[in-house]
A and B are shown apart, each in its own frame.
Chain A
Amino acid sequence: MTTHDEHAHPELGFWRKYIFSTDHKIIGIQYIITAMAMAVVGGVLSMLMRLQLGWPGTLWPSLENIFPTGFAGGVMEPGFYLSLVTMHGTIMVFFLFTAVLTGGFGNFLIPLQIGARDMAFPLLNALSYWTFLLSCITILGALFATGGPPLGGWTAYAPLSAVPAMGPGQGDGMTLWIVAIALFTASGLMGGLNYVTTLLTMRTKGMSMMRLPLTQWALFITAILGTLAFPVLLAAGILLTFDRIGGTSFFVPAGLFLADGTLIDHSGGHPLLWQHLFWFFGHPEVYIVLLPAMGIASDILSTFARKPIFSYKMMVYSMSAIAFLSFIVWGHHMFLSGMNPLLGSLFTLTTLLIAIPSAVKTFNWIGTILGARIQFTVPMLFALGFVSTFISGGLSGIFLGTSASDIAMHDTYFVVGHFHLVMAVAPLFAAFAGIYFWFPKMFGRMMNMTAGKVHFWISFVGVNCVFMTMHASGVAGHLRRIYDPTQYAFLEPVYGMNQFISISAFVLGAAQILFLVNFFASIWFGPKASVNPWNATTLEWTVPSPPGHGNFGPELPVVERWAFDYSVPGAKEDFVMQTEAPARVESS
């Protein structure tokens, strides 16, 4: 077992090599490409939403041809709009961000960066991907369910989600939604067990925990978060399913009736129970998305700043603190839910507490690039974009975490702008940075950097036009999940803003097509990549692009230093690989 013979593996056929593979690199790429396909669906849904919000009630006869029921008569139906809201949120949160950041980068990077040949349980890993794919198909199936897709939002608040008769789409569509989320949970748990085990037991010689790249720390903490949070969502989903099909009353109180007077046969449950269980999962989920993004951005910032990461230890501690605190802040989603106001005070305190480690991370990123020699590559631009949007979105969270100002902000576009910046745009930028950065390692070719720069500049301007403006429209009172804002006279000041946001969103969406074309064209036509095109220090840059099966040569690498030795005084070059023996340069 100490030596690894490349020739011991018989050459695998196309199907075994690229489709039913147990190689972590292939599985990671499968996750990334599947998530990109889901993102296209989720993105198109959001464009349709913007169409309605910008120009409510306008006739779109051509769209009626594509969506005969959604655009019956050429005008978007209210139910269709709410389905867009629900499916956009669900697809993006679970099937894009969670999947691409933990499933995609986690699988691809963990063994490569810690010096292992594969995950601890390659077969379980493959099973995790195929379960994920099944959940993707299921959630897409909800789009075509009888009665339409669910319309209760990605949070699926009970009793709207618990009683199928409460709305169209709450029948079969909602059932498929629950099944998809349960499958996704199972897939995430399989991945999480694998990540933790691999990171703890398979690090190569010299790769101590405190020498891990920050991406690895982030993925490690994320995997633990998932292990603790996903089962609670699963429990909530099981109880919800019994409410829907078994006649139980966990989330449905007695004495409810429909608009036509039909009594609902339930007794005794509590709607807030769902919210408690959901957000106990839901808030850690925010960090399941955000932590890997932070890790990726940290590593990329340091690489292209050509400067060590500032305060590595505090980066690790603050991520751990964020992970811990994320389990005791869920109530800030429920300030106005009728929950005991005393709990509101408590959750305000814990929520503002979590702002401290978040601020630490921001300081450290700025400390990293201060006095640097920044190379403005495409990954670096996106990493800088990540920092900027994280600051904007993080700060606007303080308004919402303070229960008193949340009275004004709750359920408005201020919230929409906030969570998009902090858990959609920032992670998306980190994911883009990661893809541009590791693409050469994935496919052995470089992406087109000119197209990448155009992609960045449009995206960076676009997201700020869209989501900062949403903050302002939220202050003006614009409610979220509203099909037609012109229903309310007090929203008149935001009508124009909505059009501005919509046009910006279309431009932003178009720029992503550029990315997709660049991605797929570069797989075949990009210029060949060298072993270490970015002069980075971590282990994956010591092996060919793309690495062969088993990642490393006959001997696993031995790690001699941390991952951030850039611009070491006296060193021959401005980066020192992690495998470089300390004798060559003494670093402090």
Chain B
Amino acid sequence: MDTPRTPVVIPCAAAVAGTRLPPLRIEITCTLIVAAAIASRDYQDVHHDAELARRKGSPDIFMNILTTNGLVGRYVTDHFGPYAVLRRVAIRLGAPNHPGDTMVLTGTVEEVDGDTVTVRVVGENGIGRHVTGTVTVVLPGTDEGTDTDTITGTGTDTDMGTGTGTGTDTVTGTGLDSANLPVRRPG
């Protein structure tokens, strides 16, 4: 049967609510914890000195929150590709990531609103749930002409700028591509 096709812009075939992202296993090593702590400019002793970490009641060094944040962001952009633009990452930490453990990140597309996709991410390690979080990402793949149509009226702007109090959120409705977002085209 010939189904009439309306010009609905689906930014990415994978971006359907309920879609599960393939899991990402991350081996938690001392090297990862220390290298990422230093790369994030975090010199708290609990992220590189096991003896001092133990004196503070931790069995070993543990991953810092900036690293978890970076890994969660990476997990989502790995999936959606280099043209996906992170707009928001919100995470909560639970069971710490200690060396020798493995964290498995899983994600589920929670909502697709125009070109804006919200992904729920969970990272489990051997002792429990290390991280739960929500990542909002804007996907490319819409042409300039259709962008405005897709974005108008989807309400994405209320998600974008919540609480910034800077007034910039009012622009996003029309200015997503041109003003605020690094829409990077191949080549």
Asked if A pairs with B, the answer is no
Residue positions of B touching A, CB distance < 8 A: none
Residue positions of A touching B, CB distance < 8 A: none
